[in-house]
Amino acid sequence: MDAAKLISVAQGQAPADLLLKNARIVNVLSADVHPGDIAILGERIVGIGDYEARRVIDLQGAYVSPGFIDGHMHLESTMLTVAEFAKAVVPLGTTSVVIDPHEIANVMGMDGLRWVFDSCKYMPINLYLMLPSCVPCSDMETAGSRLESYHLEQYFGSKWVLGLAEMMNYPGVLAKDKGVLKKLELGAGKIIDGHAPGLSGKGLCAYVAAGIRSDHECTTLAEAREKLRLGVHIMIREGSTAKNLATLLPLVTPENARRFSLVTDDRHPLDLAEDGHINGVVRSAIRLGLPPVTAIQMVTLNTANYFHMKDLGAIAPGCYADLTIFDNFRNLRILKVLKRGEMVYADGKLARFKGLQVGVLRSSVNVRDLTRERFQVPAAGRRIKVIEVVPGQIVTRKRIEPAPIVDGHAVADPARDLLKIAGVERHQATGNVGLGFVRGFGLRAGAVASSVAHDSHNIIVVGAHDEDMYLAAQEIVRMQGGLVAVAGGRVLKTVPLPIAGLMSDRPIGEVVRDLKELHHHIRRLGCTLHDAFMTMSFLALPVIPELKLTDKGLVDVGEFRIVPLFS
C-alpha cells in the first residue's frame, strides 16, 4: 500500500475505494458497539467517520465486526478439501483459520504437508498453518509417517506458518526427549501451541516453562484456572465431540477475558451445515450468558493478538478490511463478508475464486492378511478392561467388567452395551490388529468402521458381531478410505474418503447428504451417540486419558503404555 495515498485518504483529501455507511461497529478495542461509517482503501481500513468514496454500501444499521478467526482446527475433520471448506465457512463469517494438518501428515508425511500448502493458495479466506509437532503422537501405534525437526524447518520461513502445533507429547517434554526439544527450539521464535489434558503442578510448570503458550484440552474449571494462572492462553473448544464451552465459560471475567479464545478443533461437515462454524460457537456463548462483545473479542482480537497476526482482529485504521456483517447477536445471521476489502460473500452469494489445481495423493490404505479370525478374542481371564465413552468429550473412562465368554472367546454383549472394538493397521501392511471392548455406543447389531482414527488414522471398527466387523473393515479397504455401516452381512451405507482416507473429493452438499443417510442407518441399529464416527475416531488417540485402543493394543494413557485386555 502506498503510505502517502493511505494518509491522504485517511485525512479526507482523496476518496476511499469503499464506504460502509450506517454500520453498528462491534469495537473489540473499546469493548462497545457504536454507530459509524467505515472507509476502505484497497485491502485496508483507512478511517472511521464521514468520508467520500467511489463506492458506497448502506448497511442500514447492520452490525460489523472483524472477520471471525478460528484459532485451532484440523481441516481434515471437516472431511472437505480446502476449497470446499472455504465455500462452507466464508458465508458463516469466518475470514481466517489456523489449521494444524497433523492428521494428513500422520498418513502422508511431507507429501501431505505439501498438498495442504498448495491447496491453501488463492482462497477467499486466510489459511494459516501450525506445523505438526507430534507425527506420530506416540510409539504406541503405527503411523504412516514420522516428521522430525529437520523436516519442518524448511517451512518456518513462510509468512503463513505461525509456529509449532499442539505439543501432545507432554511426557516427552517432561522427559527432555532430544527430538521433542529440537522441535521446541525450532518453534521458539514463533508460537508453540499446547495439548496437555490433566497436566498439573510442577509438571505443568515445566511444560509452560518450555515455551508452550496455549491449551485447548481443558475440561474442568479447576484445570483451566490453574493453566490460566500460569500464563497459558485458554482456547475454549466447542467441536463436534469435545464440547467444553458450558463448563469453562464461568471462568471468563471482564478482567481476564483477553486470555481466552473460542475454537472448534474438530468439526464434522454435518455440524458445519447445521450448527455453523465459529459463528455457531459465538452464538452458543452468547446464549450461555457471555456478553456479546466479549464473545466477538474471543474470536477476533484475542486470537489475532495471541498469534501475532499483524493488522487483523480489529476495526481500526491500518487494519486489513476483513469484516463480518450480521443482523443481530441472537441469530448472528451473516449478511456480508469482506476479505481484504473484497466482498467475498453478499446476500446469499459467494464470490467466485480460482483456487489452485493440486496433485493427486497416493493410495493410503494398505492392509495385509485380514481375516475373520483376526477379530476373535481368545479368553485369557474372567474380567476385561473396557473403554467407556464420555458423551460430549474425547476423554474416556477405564472400567473393569466381567468378560462375556462364548466357546472360549470373549465376545460382544449388546444387551450390556458392551461392544467389540478393533484397530486395523493400514499404512505399512504390518498385519497388526488391536482388540478391545467399548461401552457407550448403544449398537444392538451390526458394525461401523472408519479410516479416520486420531492421530495415526488406522482403521477403527466397533461392532456387535465379528462377521460384520470383518465386512466393515473390508469395505474400508475396498473404498481406499471412508466410513461405513453394515449389518447382517450387508453394507448399508458408505461415505468414501479417498484423500488420505480422511477427506472427500466431492462438494459439501453431497458429503452432508451421505453422512445424514449413514447416521440414519446407525441410529436404526441402536446407536445413541450424537456423532458416532467422531466419537469413534478419538478412541484410538493414545495421548488422551484414560483408556484407548490402537493397532498395537489397549493403551492405558495414565501409565502411557500398552496393557493387557484381561484384568
d(CA 70, CA 313): 11
Nearest partner of 111 among 126, 122, 101, judged by Cα: 101
Whether 356 has a pLDDT exceeding 70, the answer reads no
pLDDT of residue 216: 97
Q: What is the pTM of this model?
A: 0.92
* Percent of the chain surpassing pLDDT 70: 99
Quote the Cα angle for 168-171-172, to 5°.
85
The whole-angstrom distance between residue 457's C-alpha and the CA centroid of its chain comes to 15
pLDDT in tens, 99-154: 999 999 999 999 999 999 999 988 999 999 999 999 988 889 999 999 999 999 99
Contacts of 520 (CB under 8 A, 6+ apart): none
Strand intervals (E) in 356-487:
377-378, 383-389, 396-402, 405-406, 409-410, 418-424, 433-439, 447-450, 459-463, 482-487
Task: Name which residue leads in pLDDT, 545 or 248.
Answer: 248
Rounded to whole angstroms, how far apart are CA atoms 375 and 474?
Answer: 12
Per-residue pLDDT tens over the stretch 479-529: 999 999 999 999 999 999 999 999 999 999 999 999 999 999 999 999 999
Other C-beta atoms closer than 10 Å to the C-beta of 231 total 10
Residue 62 C-alpha from the chain's centroid: 30
In the chain, what percentage of residues exceed pLDDT 90?
Answer: 90
Decide if pLDDT at 392 tops 80: no
- Hey, what domains does the chain have and what are their CATH numbers? 67-309 (3.20.20.140), 372-563 (no CATH)
The whole-angstrom distance between residue 77's C-alpha and the CA centroid of its chain comes to: 6
Q: pLDDT at residue 428 above 70?
A: yes
Please tell me the distance from the alpha carbon of residue 368 to that of residue 131, in angstroms, as a whole number.
Answer: 31
Give residue 139's pLDDT: 85
| Three-state DSSP class for residue 244 | coil
Element (H, E) at 38: strand 32-41
Compute, in degrees rounded to 10, the torsion defined by CA atoms 369, 370, 375, 376: -40
Q: What confidence score (pLDDT) does residue 134 get? A: 92
- Diameter of the chain measured on Cα atoms: 89
392: left (phi > 0), else alpha (psi -120 to 50), else beta?
left
- pLDDT at position 369 is 86
Q: What is the mean pLDDT of residues 146-172?
A: 93
What are the tens digits of pLDDT across the range 86-96?
Answer: 999 999 999 99
Residue 357 has pLDDT above 70, yes or no: no
**Whether residue 171 has pLDDT greater than 70:** yes
pLDDT at 359 over 80: no
pLDDT band of 360, cuts 50, 70, 90: confident
Over its C-alpha atoms, the chain yields an Rg (Å, rounded) of 24
pLDDT over threshold 80, residue 45: yes
* pLDDT tens, residue by residue, 238-280: 998 889 999 999 999 999 999 999 999 999 999 999 999 999 9
Mean pLDDT of 208-227: 97
Over range 197-203, report the average pLDDT. Answer: 95
Alpha carbon distance 24, 63 (integer Å)? 5
pLDDT tens track for 226-239: 999 999 999 999 99
Q: Is 421 helix (H, G, I), strand (E, B) or coil?
A: strand
Nearest residue to 297 (alpha-carbon basis) of 26, 28, 95: 28
Instruction: Tell me what the mean pLDDT of segment 441-464 comes to.
Output: 96
